[in-house]
A and B are shown apart, each in its own frame.
Chain A
């Protein structure tokens, strides 16, 4: 994307709803909200032609705060709702948002298949490496030695899930990592993701000030990848694996066929019924 999403003619404010977020003060999710509204404003999309779908979690509250059509479903199924919506209404711009638990644990299977189905959707995971809404349990992206949850007093003891690597292995065609400490960069990534034809995945590092206060340190250590986006999956894999998970930017982008339903009417019901007549 060229240009500056901040200086757009349609204001981001118009994309903000009146509803006051439930998030804790300092939550990274505020900045995802602002990045999403900036991106939509920059693209000057008619509000009624955009839908934002989510699951359940603190992060999944996002749709009500954005002035577009929203669907706040059940835990883990946002991608499924969004895929159905996009298949039925290819004319809409469909965004999907949620947490790391929502997307990688309970909804993990949908993540794999959304990546490989490559429908034209933009998926933003607000990754705080914890289950915020249920008050601080380990998520798939929590490190194995994080022992602050009463549910896993010795730490989860399981290597954490690498979302970018999984997305790549599953066939996603747009893989990026953003950071809520850099909302303008995140907004740019979202613009690029919406413009990308196919499934775009953005892992937005979004600190949980309540259950992961140590993530306040992220603003000191998060930095951009030191290489430009690649279309080579092997190079992308190396970059993802060599990284500590805190480098940001567009990592991988390629073009693959986009799944979309055929669109041609060739019969009326009466003709189909005739097939059964004796």
Chain B
């Protein structure tokens, strides 16, 4: 959050832009985000697309204001339709109120019923004619001018974003974009928004970043220098960002033939002493489970960044859901203690991924980091992300220190020094078979018990410190949440507090091993507890109940994707349930 009081954030404005493929919806959204950033503000831009590779309809949803924004609002203030083709597919994702403003061109037809029934005000503007009045004019640029003026963004800010964003396209393209934006600005408007964006005189330092890029930065900050992966939506952009940037740092990315390969490749890389990561989504994570068990048993640290999408099976590849908590916690066969972390928002993708790398390296085990499509493929203007706790790093064996036992039992914390190939006098064979202290395969009950104890001890002894969760607010009402629902939960708590219902939020970052005592303490005095998550089964709710951490009276708000959990929905549930 920025320095402003997080409990009393000033109002924000929300814009949706829709259009068919090729109409430039995403370009317009990205430029609008750049403009609010240049104006010193913050913004969050999510996008929604159909399954088509090219030419499908798409929508961008942007919310902006003078503080960091970690969720979409309940409603949009403006919907601007470049055309109405296939807009029905997005209707549910773009809630409007009678206060909202629909901007559209009568040339594209009337407002479809799926949108119109919400009763928003409609302002007809000749968007297409204005674009045609400019040589090579594009309707998305006209729309950008209209939106910028309605929001109260300075014209010069908008124009200079065009110069930056279209630099490579040449002076002609820039000039026609300028003309289009100006015509959008100058077009007389019969309706206005109830408020405009504030102006910021001295903007704080900020970043413009996607969740996938933030995860990439976090991985590199944590020390990752080897990545092997197989492309999958919505994780691919993390890999596309990592490939060239790893190379600049002297690391490497290997495109694997499948996820069975990628997980085993990073096990190989990490066995070689290089911190290693793969990125994937649900189907890929399912394929990796056997390899992850190998990493746990052989005590080879690896990190899996799992960017969740609608599941199970191929599910809804392009849209968000928080439904991989169960597989991340319980997907292994055997008893396989490991780390599971969830990023709370786009900015937190950097912190949580970095922390996951550091914990995995220190504990010599698997870390699964959950983020999702609504974070990974969205962009946000954020305060620069903080560094994660550094930890102790990987404990390495020193050369020629006598008889080397890779899996020795005597360290109290269970962490035995790992020898990296190249180290003299520490030869050993890492093994996924149960083994004795030396690493020699063993099926003896005693070895199994002791090595299981050792691997568990590493996690039980972990002191996560305060980073295990983000806790805000106070009061008898309590929302427990994780991942991308956290932003909506914090906002709901603020609004509930203003309604006179003080509410605290516990947004859990370290999902396993869960610091049960800390959660217990954080829950002290809470009598009305609601868990909030974006999946069908209530995976967090059942997990916490199984650990007997929730009061019997706790309720759950669990709803599948792809619609984001919105603050109003949480407030309504809280008020209805309690």
A53 within 8 A of B: yes
Contact in complex: A261, B421 (CB < 8 Å)? no
Contacts A85-B272, A87-B269, A89-B421; A69 near B428 (Cβ below 8 A): yes
Interface residues as binary, B219-234 with A (CB distance below 8 Å gives 1, 0 otherwise): 0110001101000000
Q: Which of B249, B276, B421 has the most CB of A within 10 A?
A: B421
What's the Cα separation between A272 and B249 when bound, in Å?
10
Contacts A72-B430, A85-B271, A273-B217; A77 near B260 (Cβ below 8 A): yes
Looking at B206-214, B310-318, B539-547, the stretch in contact with chain A turns out to be B206-214
Contact in complex: A84, B427 (CB < 8 Å)? no
What's the Cα separation between A109 and B245 when bound, in Å?
29
What's the Cα separation between A74 and B333 when bound, in Å?
13
What's the Cα separation between A269 and B223 when bound, in Å?
10
Contact in complex: A72, B431 (CB < 8 Å)? yes
A134 within 8 A of B: no
What's the Cα separation between A212 and B258 when bound, in Å?
34
What's the Cα separation between A85 and B421 when bound, in Å?
10
Q: A84 to chain B: which residues have CB within 8 Å? A: 226, 228, 254, 264-269, 272, 276
Nearest CB in chain A to that of B261: its residue: A80
What's the Cα separation between A219 and B276 when bound, in Å?
45
Q: Which of B217, B247, B256, B268 has the most CB of A within 10 A?
A: B268
B7 within 8 A of A: no
Contact in complex: A77, B421 (CB < 8 Å)? no
Q: Which of B225, B261, B419 has the most CB of A within 10 A?
A: B261
Interface of A is mostly: mixed
B159 within 8 A of A: no
A244 within 8 A of B: no
Q: B465 to chain A: which residues have CB within 8 Å? A: none
Looking at A43-51, A154-162, A183-191, the stretch in contact with chain B turns out to be A43-51
Partner of A261, one of B208, B252, B290: B252
Contacts A77-B261, A77-B291, A110-B257; A85 near B269 (Cβ below 8 A): yes
Q: A53 to chain B: which residues have CB within 8 Å? A: 268
Which residues of A, 71-118, contact B by the 8 Å Cβ criterion? Answer: 71-74, 76-77, 80-89, 91-92, 109-110, 112-113
Interface residues as binary, B528-548 with A (CB distance below 8 Å gives 1, 0 otherwise): 000000000000000000000
Partner of B272, one of A61, A89, A110, A112: A89
What's the Cα separation between A68 and B422 when bound, in Å?
10
B126 within 8 A of A: no
What's the Cα separation between A255 and B423 when bound, in Å?
32
Q: B276 to chain A: which residues have CB within 8 Å? A: 84, 88
**Chain A-chain B contacts (Cβ-Cβ < 8 Å), number:** 184
Q: B425 to chain A: which residues have CB within 8 Å? A: 48
A206 within 8 A of B: no
Nearest CB in chain A to that of B258: its residue: A109
Contacts A84-B254, A84-B266, A87-B226; A110 near B261 (Cβ below 8 A): yes
B385 to chain A, nearest CB (A): 9
Which residues of B, 421-450, contact A by the 8 Å Cβ criterion? Answer: 421-433, 439-441
Q: B273 to chain A: which residues have CB within 8 Å? A: 88-89
A106 to chain B, nearest CB (A): 9
Which residues of A, 144-182, contact B by the 8 Å Cβ criterion? Answer: none
Q: B260 to chain A: which residues have CB within 8 Å? A: 76-77, 80, 109-110
Partner of B248, one of A74, A85, A112, A272: A272
Q: A89 to chain B: which residues have CB within 8 Å? A: 269, 272-274, 421-422
Which residues of B, 250-296, contact A by the 8 Å Cβ criterion? Answer: 250-252, 254, 256-258, 260-274, 276, 290-291, 293-294
Q: B247 to chain A: which residues have CB within 8 Å? A: 261-262, 264
Nearest CB in chain A to that of B399: its residue: A48
Which residues of B, 380-431, contact A by the 8 Å Cβ criterion? Answer: 381, 384, 419, 421-431
Q: B170 to chain A: which residues have CB within 8 Å? A: none
- Chain B: number of interface residues, binned into ranges: 35 or more
B37 within 8 A of A: yes
B365 within 8 A of A: no
Q: A271 to chain B: which residues have CB within 8 Å? A: 248
B38 within 8 A of A: yes
Q: A64 to chain B: which residues have CB within 8 Å? A: 429, 431, 439-441
What's the Cα separation between A261 and B430 when bound, in Å?
25
Q: A19 to chain B: which residues have CB within 8 Å? A: 440
B205 within 8 A of A: yes
A227 within 8 A of B: no
Contact in complex: B429, A267 (CB < 8 Å)? no
A212 to chain B, nearest CB (A): 24
B320 within 8 A of A: no
Contact in complex: B271, A269 (CB < 8 Å)? no
Contact in complex: B207, A87 (CB < 8 Å)? no
Contact in complex: B429, A72 (CB < 8 Å)? yes
What's the Cα separation between A41 and B423 when bound, in Å?
19
A122 within 8 A of B: no
Contact in complex: B261, A269 (CB < 8 Å)? no
What's the Cα separation between A85 and B261 when bound, in Å?
12
Contact in complex: A81, B271 (CB < 8 Å)? yes
Contact in complex: A113, B257 (CB < 8 Å)? yes
A70 within 8 A of B: yes
Contact in complex: B427, A48 (CB < 8 Å)? yes
A-B contact pairs, 17 of them (CB 8 A): A64-B429, A69-B428, A71-B429, A83-B265, A84-B276, A86-B268, A87-B226, A92-B272, A110-B261, A266-B248, A271-B248, A273-B207, A277-B206, A277-B207, A277-B384, A278-B37, A278-B205
Given contacts A48-B422, A77-B291, 8 further A-B contacts (CB under 8 A): A48-B426, A64-B429, A64-B431, A88-B272, A89-B274, A109-B261, A273-B217, A278-B38
